[in-house]
Structure 1
Amino acid sequence: MIKVLIVEDDPMVSEFNRRYLEQVGGFELIAMAPSVVDALNILDHQEIDLILLDIFMPGMNGFDLLAQIRKLGKGIDVIVVSAACDSQSIKKALRYGAVDYLIKPFEFERFNTALSAYQDWATMTKGQEKLSQAELDIRLLRPNPVAVPSELPKGLTRNTLKTVWDNIQEIKERSFSTEEMANRVGVSRVSMRKYLSFLTDIGVIDMEVIYGSIGRPVYQHRCIKPESNIIKTYF
């Protein structure tokens, strides 16, 4: 479980964030702090993995807390949840190391995407001393969950997508072709290409082109995030 601290001076917003957090799963809310001073006191006594942080609060603000966390060298990640949408605030938060930035008001889908992406990253890096370039690129090349669509593209259905994903899970240790997966699921190759393209877009599978000595290139796919929670939002 990822241990979370919510730092927010508005009780109503804190409650919304708490309810949203419960819906995602895999996260444990340790405390809710109405101020930076309260947050620092909690951090002195509790182990926290992730902070959901508002920026503008009475007294010390979110930037002050970010700076203090970095100064102390604490291994805590931060997702900013703020109404501040000016570029300077966003840039400043990112420079301080915020892993994501949610602009109020936002829908649950955006919150879920941010938390799921963070959970995937935390799972990938847990207990690993080294990462491959491919694993690192998953984070670096797709750092902004805003790019993940909240709805299925036109022509795709939830039931078929789940069937495709279940089949991918069965062979997740090896690569597969569009034709193989189409045969496993029982749909046309044209339809399967749409599903595989969507799964590639949301970052749970990867595609590579294999060139043989003769003939056309073969497109091979491989599951790169088998434990992803992002895919579950579409079922």
Structure 2
Amino acid sequence: MIRVLVVEDEPIAARAHRAYVERVRGFEVVGLAASRLEAERVLARGGVDLVLLDLHLPDGSGLDLFRRVRAAGSTVDVMVVSSARDADIVRSAVAQGAVQYVIKPFAFTTLRDRLLAYQDFRQQVDDTGAVDQLAVDRALSLLRAPSAGSLPKGMTKETLAVVVGALREFGEASSAQVAEVLGVSRITARRYLEHLADTGAADRSLRYGQVGRPETRYGLRRPDGPDGAD
């Protein structure tokens, strides 16, 4: 079981987040904290794998809590759950190591998909003592890719993770480039790329050459880029 601490000062939101987490197989909520100080006390006792962290707390910023936890040497994972949309705040959270950033308000499926992606990430890095570059790339890709439960019929999270990894390596790519990496048809590659774009995980743009039709290019959406559908 992945043990979760919910840090949220609004009682209704805290109960909702707890209910959402406990609906996902493999997760359990081991505590609720309504303030920075209360969260620090819970974390000091140990037994927490993942923190769902609100950034607006009555006795300080959630980012301050994040910094204090890291300064204390804790490697607990943090998933930010906040209404804050400021790009500087998002960058700061990512720079400190947030595994996800979920913008309020959100539906159950939004949090579920990110929890499942995090669960897959944990399995990738926990199963073996040493990992190679491919395993690292796959694990990191799983944090950003939608979960299998949200994929259209015929698509797999393993292939999607490879597509995400290819975009991360290229920076920007066409369906032809991704198809070559996957060893599949352009139609199949384009289907995965369009799914990433439709779900807000990637951006699409047109590149105009000197002759012929423009080429559609895809790139992973940066954390400080335009807001997604959630």
Q: In the alignment, which residue of structure 2 is the partner of 1:201?
A: 160
Deviations, residues 22-61 of structure 1 (Å, cap 9, x unaligned): 1111012110000010000111223111000000111122
Deviations, residues 199-232 of structure 1 (Å, cap 9, x unaligned): 623669x99979xxxxxxx75xxxxxxxxxxxxx
Alignment of 1:174-193 (within 5 A): none
Equivalent residue letter for 1:59: D
Deviations, residues 48-96 of structure 1 (Å, cap 9, x unaligned): 1100000011112201111011101112000000000111111111111
- 1: CA distance between counterparts of 2:96 and 2:65? 10
- 2: CA distance between counterparts of 1:93 and 1:126? 24
Name the CA shift for 1:127/1:149 in 2 (closer, same or farther; >3 Å). Answer: closer
- 2: CA distance between counterparts of 1:59 and 1:85? 21
Equivalent residue letter for 2:61: N
Q: In the alignment, which residue of structure 1 is the partner of 2:126?
A: 126
Q: In the alignment, which residue of structure 2 is the partner of 1:82?
A: 82
Q: In the alignment, which residue of structure 2 is the partner of 1:109?
A: 109
Name the CA shift for 1:107/1:203 in 2 (closer, same or farther; >3 Å). Answer: farther
Aligned residues, how many?
173
CA-based RMSD of the aligned residues comes to: 3.2
Asked if structure 1 preserves the Cα contact closer than 8 Å seen for 2:83 and 2:105, the reply is yes
Asked if structure 2 preserves the Cα contact closer than 8 Å seen for 1:142 and 1:203, the reply is no
Alignment of 1:1-235 (within 5 A): 1-145=1-145, 150=150, 152=152, 161=153, 195-196=154-155, 200-201=159-160
Instruction: Give the percent of matched residue pairs that are identical in Structure 1 and Structure 2.
Output: 34
- 1: CA distance between counterparts of 2:147 and 2:86? 20
Name the CA shift for 1:9/1:130 in 2 (closer, same or farther; >3 Å). Answer: same
- 2: CA distance between counterparts of 1:44 and 1:203? 38
- 2: CA distance between counterparts of 1:23 and 1:95? 30
Asked if structure 2 preserves the Cα contact closer than 8 Å seen for 1:148 and 1:201, the reply is no
Structure 2 residue runs of 5 or longer lacking an equivalent are 166-177, 185-230
Shift of 1:19: 0.9
TM-score of the aligned structures, taking structure 1 as reference length:
0.65
Asked if structure 1 preserves the Cα contact closer than 8 Å seen for 2:121 and 2:142, the reply is no
**What SS is found at the alignment partner of 2:23?**
helix
Asked if structure 1 preserves the Cα contact closer than 8 Å seen for 2:3 and 2:29, the reply is yes
Shift of 1:132: 2.0
**What SS is found at the alignment partner of 2:13?**
helix
Asked if structure 2 preserves the Cα contact closer than 8 Å seen for 1:50 and 1:78, the reply is yes
* Structure possessing the higher radius of gyration over alpha carbons: 1
Shift of 1:197: 7.0
Equivalent residue letter for 1:139: A
